[in-house]
Amino acid sequence: MILIKDARYLIKSADEVLEHVDVLIDGDRIAKIGPNLDSMRHATYIDATDRIVCPGFVNMHTHLYQNMLKGVREDLLLKEWCEEVTFPFSGVIRKYIGCNDDDLTYYYGLLGAVEQVRCGITTFVDMDIIFDSLFEAWQDVGVRGVAAIQAVNRWVPKSLVSSDEERKRGIIETIDKWHGNGILRVAMAPSTPFACTPDYLEWLKAVAVERGMNMFCHISENKWEIEQSLAECGKTPLEYLDSIGFLTAPLCAVHAVQFTEKEMKIAREKDVSVCYNPKSNIKLASGIAPIVDYLKLGIPVAIATDGAASNDLLDMFEDMRVGLMLQKLRYGDPACMGARDVFRMATQTGAQMLHLDAGVLEEGKLADMALIDTTQAHFGPVHDVIQNLVYCGKESDVETVIINGRVVLRDGAMQTIDERTAVRNAMELGAARQKECVAKIQVED
């Protein structure tokens, strides 16, 4: 058992905050919330004086392999960025996997997981090239990871695509081994509508429905994608997916920066949710998604960091803050959206979209939570705890993180791994592999 004593604030949800309460955790669940709970003889005791206890953040979209690409280019639009940065590095990943060397995938999985835990993220969706070593890294850290298999069979370089039979066999093997393995899950993620043939999209959807998995897809991220879709099939991306029957199962549209009014109507009618990636959309000059319009239409919206190559931090505080202020700017109205709205996107909505019994702190819910220090000069005085958290909070304020009832970070120290050694190894390997990638590109040029 874990007993958290005397929390200055406990954020049950975006709509309810308690003060001066205790939290008792039994196993993986919240057993009791209330003042003056009795100390349990064998409980782990955590002092929450002057701390906020809040639901763990749910990062609905990232690409952890990009943690090895921080500081690599800042001057490219999306298409060119994929072609000149991510595709070459993906080739390096596949080269070493082909040689039975999985250190690179293990270490970028570990590096990304640690960065997110330190920010209070307890669950994340990683759209990635999925290998066993990635799951093993997440198990070692103790984080709740959802591996969204980034599926493609066209558009990308041939060297990154295997045969349809080999690709499908690998996907099924990954699902069988890892979906529901402890706190880990698998999801289906066609990279974009134009990166998959219609028959492949249909197969991916059928497997997701049969296995009870979430589906994600990059959709309408920038103007080039819209123009490409209109030129190829005469329809915008979401219209196209609707026309081939892909939207008969729930889908999370990642980005949705450029949705037309018709696409918004389709999204509302076909149970399409949206994942908002504000900082990534800024860095790649993709635009500002019309999130207020989506919320008014009742379209569920979660928020995410995207990958480190286009952010470059996996920091939900920054994406909440920047994402909220961008909406005020886009609509010219400081009242169009508030801190509670974006906090809900970062916690409850993401958990609901993943069918996860978390995202709020209530008795019986999963014990996924973070303790945040309120005593630093930048944070207070606290007049409205959720506004302070969204506008003033930083990664460095997160002191303790509990995931599935397990203390993963305590008083700023990782409890599950030797962080110093692991991070050093990861950074050294990442730097070496990127140098190799650059050298390969120069030779080809």
Q: What is the pLDDT of residues 13-25, one digit of tens each?
A: 999 999 999 999 9
Q: What is the pLDDT of residues 404-431, one digit of tens each?
A: 999 999 999 999 999 999 999 999 998 8
pLDDT on residue 161: 64
Instruction: Share the mean pLDDT of the chain.
Output: 93
What is the sign, positive or negative, of the torsion defined by CA atoms of 19, 391, 60, 424? negative
442: pLDDT strictly greater than 60: no
CA distances from 126 to 62, 134, 231, 248 (A): 5, 10, 30, 24
Classify domain 57-353 at the CATH superfamily level: Metal-dependent hydrolases (3.20.20.140)
Q: What is the pLDDT of residues 238-254, one digit of tens each?
A: 999 999 999 999 999 99
pLDDT on residue 159: 63
61: three-class secondary structure by DSSP:
strand
- The pTM assigned to this predicted structure is 0.95
pLDDT on residue 443: 53
Q: Which CATH number describes the domain made up of 2-56+361-414?
A: 2.30.40.10
Query: Percentage of residues in the chain with pLDDT exceeding 70?
Result: 96
Cβ atoms < 10 Å from Cβ of 293: 16
441: pLDDT strictly greater than 70: no
Q: How far apart (Å, rounded) are the C-alpha atoms in residues 345 and 271? A: 17
Q: What is the pLDDT of residues 184-200, one digit of tens each?
A: 999 999 999 988 999 99
Q: Grade residue 42 by pLDDT with cuts at 50, 70 and 90.
A: confident
pLDDT on residue 5: 96
Strand 251-255 relative to strand 216-219, pairing: parallel
pLDDT on residue 439: 61
Residues in the chain: 445
143: pLDDT strictly greater than 80: yes
Where along the chain do its domains lie?
2-56+361-414, 57-353
Nearest to 190 by CA among 163, 229, 150, 161: 150
For 26, phi then psi, to 5°, come to -125, 115
pLDDT on residue 77: 82
Q: What is the pLDDT of residues 271-300, one digit of tens each?
A: 999 999 999 999 999 999 999 999 999 999
pLDDT on residue 160: 61
Nearest to 434 by CA among 66, 63, 62: 66
Mean pLDDT of 376-399: 97
Cβ atoms < 10 Å from Cβ of 47: 14
Q: How far apart (Å, rounded) are the C-alpha atoms in residues 188 and 207? A: 8
For 317, phi then psi, to 5°, come to -60, -45
Mean pLDDT of 430-445: 71
Please give the structure tokens belonging to residue 127.
């759209």
445: pLDDT strictly greater than 60: no
158: pLDDT strictly greater than 80: no
Mean pLDDT of 134-142: 97
Q: What is the pLDDT of residues 47-73, one digit of tens each?
A: 999 999 999 999 999 999 999 988 888
Please give the structure tokens belonging to residue 405.
């009832």
340: pLDDT strictly greater than 70: yes
DSSP-assigned letter for residue 366? B
